[in-house]
Amino acid sequence: MRYRKTATAGKPTSKPMWKPAFAPLLKYPRLAFRSAGLCLSREMQYRLHFWGNTFAGVLWTGMYLVFIEVILSHTGSIAGWDRPAMYVLYGTYMILEAVAGMIIMPNMIKLTEYVRTGELDLLLTKPIDTQFYLSVRHWEFAGTGRALIGLTAVAYGLKHTLASGGGGSVLPSPALHPATLASPAILSWLSYLVSLVAAFLLLYALWLLSVLIIFWVIKAEGLGYLFVPIMQIARYPISAYPPLLQAAFRTVLPLAFVAAAPSSALLGRATPAGALVSLVVAGLFLLISRAGWLFALRHYSSASS
């Protein structure tokens, strides 16, 4: 390696460069982006797998759309949600499922593997918060096609909701009057986005809580997938379930705040305060999952030799 002598070489630097107080925290987003980049390049090595997964994601989306369409063709609505509203709900769910499949699921699956094989030992020694590191280390981009379909479904549903003057008689909320739909559009979208972020954080917290059992039940490779069917409950309106389950989905397992809450915000079925409630619920479950993580970590006994 050649060394090029410069005028400043050898001289002491005049002043240490000023760094903002939050500078050390920047390593967190930087790590997340670097991990994402590395995972993307690795995924691109297996093109058939990538495109196969992308195509499969689109097919799965279409398949459940067929299920919903078949029901709607016979009934017109599902638990008070008519076709446009169902498209908004389903589209929102697809966006969340795609994002969760991109970052939450691969990391949760890997977490079970790390605990099972004892690889967690090494990760605990890294100079960064282990929970954060384990949550952003693996990315899978093959499912992003579903997010695009989800966005299309939301746009389609919203367009037809507006065209029908706010969803017709099956949507009982007075907030759905065309005037209210048109005027606070920005507020509705803002509430939607806030609820969407809250739903993502909530999904992360719930998924992590479901996976933490691995610290006690070591021989459970499938644990990372356990939340997949649970999350699918949120694909349909919560009001479609029996009353006892509805109560559970609004409290102990708050799936009502996953797809239904953002959709309600966008359709004008909920007030903007609903978005704040979603944030509070997500924050609460994030705290619980953090406490659960720290508790589980205290019970971790390495599996390696």
Partner 1 sequence: MISSGRKYLTAGLLSWQDCLAYRANAAIWALVDGCGSMVMALIWLSVFRDRGEIGGYSLNQMITYYLVASAVSLLTTPHMEYNIIWEIRQGLLSGYLTRPADRYTMHIVSETVWQVMKFLMFLPSYLVVCWFLRRYIIITLTPLNLLFFCSAVLLAYLINCGMKMLLGSVAFWVTETRGLFQVLECLWGLLSGEILPLSLLPIWLTVIGGFLPFKYVVWFPTELFLDRVPVQEAVLGLGLQVCWAVVLLVVSRLVWMRGLAVYEGVGG
Give the residues lining the site for partner 1 (CB under 8 A): 46, 48-57, 59-60, 63-64, 66-67, 70-71, 74-75, 78-79, 142, 217, 219-223, 225-226, 228-230, 232-233, 236, 239-242, 245
Closest to partner 1 by CB, 56 or 190: 56
User: Token pair for residue 61?
Assistant: 């989306």
Closest to partner 1 by CB, 28 or 64: 64
The candidate with the shortest Cα–Cα distance to 147, out of 88, 65, 91, 103, is 91
What is the rounded CA–CA span in Å between residue 31 and residue 112?
A: 21
Q: What is residue 216's three-state secondary structure?
A: coil
Q: Kind and range of the H or E element at 110? A: helix 105-117
What is the rounded CA–CA span in Å between residue 299 and residue 59?
A: 42
The candidate with the shortest Cα–Cα distance to 45, out of 141, 158, 148, 130, is 141
Closest to partner 1 by CB, 119 or 185: 119
What is the rounded CA–CA span in Å between residue 285 and residue 204?
A: 9
Residues with Cβ within 8 Å of residue 286, at least 6 apart in sequence: 201, 202, 204, 205
Closest to partner 1 by CB, 204 or 236: 236
Closest to partner 1 by CB, 107 or 191: 107
Residues with Cβ within 8 Å of residue 171, at least 6 apart in sequence: 80, 81, 82, 85, 267, 269
Closest to partner 1 by CB, 192 or 254: 254
Closest to partner 1 by CB, 90 or 192: 90
Rg of the chain on CA atoms, in Å = 23
Q: How far apart are CB 4 and partner 1 at their closest, in Å?
A: 45
Q: Which residue has the tokens 């909320």?
A: 173
User: Token pair for residue 78?
Assistant: 């599902």
What is the rounded CA–CA span in Å between residue 167 and residue 237?
A: 15
Q: How far apart are CB 60 and partner 1 at their closest, in Å?
A: 5
